[in-house]
């Protein structure tokens, strides 16, 4: 079975400071992992994905995530937060069945203070 745990339901940072959104996963197989962002009243947008290539994955808008198998973690980071980064972020693990569906974490709401 696959599962994903986002350790913080809410994170607040000041503009210009680093962002860290934590994610731990559980998977019986080598997982594919994703981070999606959802801005208010909008659909989901893919930030980045890990599919067993480089363990440090760079995404859009300056975000990156590092796959650490020993820690079963896939934390999302950004060196300097912008006001436009305020949104909800979902860590996602891909389920390895014929239907190729995704298991979502419960989400982390990122607030950026001016």
Partner 1 sequence: SQTIHQWPATLVQPVGSPLSLECTVEGTSNPNLYWYRQAAGRGLQLLFYSVGIGQISSEVPQNLSASRPQDRQFILSSKKLLLSDSGFYLCAWSVSQGASYGYTFGSGTRLTVV
Q: How far apart are CA 105 and CA 22, in angstroms?
A: 11
Q: Applying CB under 8 A, which of residues 29, 41, 53, 70 lies at the interface with partner 1? A: 41
Strand ranges (DSSP E) for the chain?
3-6, 10-14, 19-21, 23-26, 33-38, 44-50, 56-58, 64-68, 73-78, 87-94, 102-104, 108-113
| Cβ distance to partner 1 smaller for residue 45 or 61 | 45
Q: How far apart are CA 108 and CA 31, in angstroms?
A: 21
Residue 53 in contact with partner 1, rule: CB under 8 A: no
| Interface of this chain with partner 1, residues 65 to 84, rule: CB under 8 A | none
| Cβ distance to partner 1 smaller for residue 63 or 90 | 90
Q: Applying CB under 8 A, which of residues 25, 34, 63, 74 lies at the interface with partner 1? A: 34
Residue 98 in contact with partner 1, rule: CB under 8 A: yes
Residues in the chain: 114
Q: Applying CB under 8 A, which of residues 42, 53, 83, 114 lies at the interface with partner 1? A: 42
- 84 sits in the region (left: phi over 0; alpha: psi -120 to 50; else beta) called alpha
| Residue ranges that bind partner 1, judged by CB under 8 A | 6, 32, 34, 36, 41-46, 49, 51, 90, 94, 98-107
């Amino acid at each position: 079975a696959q599962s994903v745990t986002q350790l913080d339901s809410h994170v607040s940072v000041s503009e210009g400071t680093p962002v860290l959104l934590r994610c731990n996963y559980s998977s019986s197989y080598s997982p594919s992992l994703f981070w999606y962002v959802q801005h208010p009243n909008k659909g989901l947008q893919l930030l980045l994905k890990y599919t067993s290539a480089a363990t440090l994955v760079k995404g859009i808008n300056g975000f990156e995530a590092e796959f650490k198998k020993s820690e079963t973690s896939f934390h999302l980071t950004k060196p300097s937060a912008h006001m436009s980064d305020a949104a909800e972020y979902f860590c996602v693990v891909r389920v390895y069945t014929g239907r190729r569906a995704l298991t979502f974490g419960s989400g982390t709401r990122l607030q950026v203070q001016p």
